[in-house]
């Protein structure tokens, strides 16, 4: 994994947004994998700004979101459908028919999950997948002990995740217990992955994911198998890494860098 360390959250998000722009410049009809949570908000803000001020064009883009809470309809204030509309889709020109987000209220989850996997394939696979990380090291909603070969399915949320995400709901009891999530195996098929983390609360998860053993206890560690993953962190989230000097050295001495 390529670890890229930035002085602050905004710089980290600008760099990740630049990776999206690079993907779109190379392939205007790219397939983007989208993530929710507070971490990627700055990336979406920057992409919206680039769309408004510099004409960044999303008209041929297709997107697939990682996950959705089971039981929440697309208009529920805490649904990831609503989150994505509010923070991104309502502000850029992605055709609505090109936007895919798991349906939290599907009546046949197994069939829906198979269809979702097939849609990703039919659209040519994901070119760039944006990811956050849970404090327990999860990616999407692939909680500890999820199979590293897992596909899109229903996953029971871990207590830690319910606690972490309770801040978005009126009561802890309102947090759904299940989610439909892309699997680790699904995510690993993306051609490029940008994992983002900021703040000291994510430092332990990032250190385990990047420098620990590959283990289903930290599903983000599976990204060590992925040949084109960049880890974007601020200094706080990089705080528990042991090889920071080396990562900074690589960052400053990339082949072709001035």
Is the Cβ of residue 92 or residue 133 nearer to ligand GLP in the bound state? 133
- Please identify which residue in 44, 100, 141, 247 interacts with ligand GLP, judged by CB under 6 A: 141
Across-strand partners of 3?
A: 231
Q: Which stretch binds ligand GLP (CB under 6 A): 34-42, 99-107, 219-227, 241-249?
A: 34-42
- Please identify which residue in 23, 36, 62, 186 interacts with ligand GLP, judged by CB under 6 A: 36
Minimum Å gap between C-beta 20 and ligand GLP is: 17
200 binds ligand GLP (CB under 6 A): no
3-state SS track over 156-209: ECCHHHHHHHHHHCCCHHHCCCEEEECCHHHHHCCCEEEEEECCHHHHHHHHHH
Site string for ligand GLP, 142-161 (x = CB under 6 A): -------------------x
Residue closest to 86 by CA, chosen among 138, 135, 45: 45
Catalytic residue status for 67 = yes
- Of the residues 46, 143, 198, 234, which is catalytic? 143
132 binds ligand GLP (CB under 6 A): yes
> Most distant CA pair in the chain: distance in Å?
55
Catalytic residue status for 10 = no
- Please identify which residue in 23, 39, 65, 221 interacts with ligand GLP, judged by CB under 6 A: 39
Is the Cβ of residue 181 or residue 192 nearer to ligand GLP in the bound state? 181
Angle at 138 between CA 65 and CA 42, to 5 degrees: 55
Minimum Å gap between C-beta 36 and ligand GLP is: 6
Is the Cβ of residue 120 or residue 133 nearer to ligand GLP in the bound state? 133
Per rule CB under 6 A, count of chain residues that contact ligand GLP: 13
Catalytic residue status for 143 = yes
Q: Which stretch binds ligand GLP (CB under 6 A): 36-44, 52-60, 95-103, 118-126?
A: 36-44
- Please identify which residue in 31, 34, 37, 128 interacts with ligand GLP, judged by CB under 6 A: 37
Site for ligand GLP, rule CB under 6 A:
35-39, 66-67, 132-134, 140-141, 161
């Amino acid at each position: 994994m390529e670890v890229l360390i930035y002085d602050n959250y905004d710089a980290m998000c600008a760099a990740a947004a630049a990776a999206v722009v690079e993907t779109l410049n190379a392939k205007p009809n790219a397939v983007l994998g989208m993530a929710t949570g507070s971490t990627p908000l700055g990336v979406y803000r920057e992409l919206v700004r680039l769309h408004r001020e510099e004409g960044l064009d999303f008209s041929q883009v297709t997107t697939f979101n990682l996950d959705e809470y089971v039981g929440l309809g697309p208009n529920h204030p805490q649904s990831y459908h609503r989150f994505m509309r509010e923070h991104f889709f309502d502000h850029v020109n992605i055709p609505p028919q090109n936007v895919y987000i798991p349906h939290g209220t599907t009546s046949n989850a197994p069939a829906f999950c198979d269809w979702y996997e097939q849609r990703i394939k039919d659209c040519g696979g994901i070119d760039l997948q944006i990811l956050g990380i849970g404090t327990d090291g999860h990616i999407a909603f692939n909680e500890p002990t999820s199979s590293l070969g897992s596909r899109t399915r229903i996953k029971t949320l871990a207590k830690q995740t319910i606690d972490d995400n309770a801040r978005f709901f009126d009561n802890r009891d309102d947090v759904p217990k299940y989610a439909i999530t892309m699997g680790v195996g699904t995510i690993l098929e993306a051609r490029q992955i940008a994992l983002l983390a900021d703040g000291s609360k994510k430092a332990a998860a990032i250190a385990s994911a990047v420098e620990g053993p590959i283990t289903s206890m930290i599903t983000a560690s599976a990204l060590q198998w992925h040949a084109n993953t960049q880890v974007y962190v601020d200094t706080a989230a990089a705080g528990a890494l042991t090889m920071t000097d080396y990562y900074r050295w690589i960052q400053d001495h990339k082949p072709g860098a001035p």
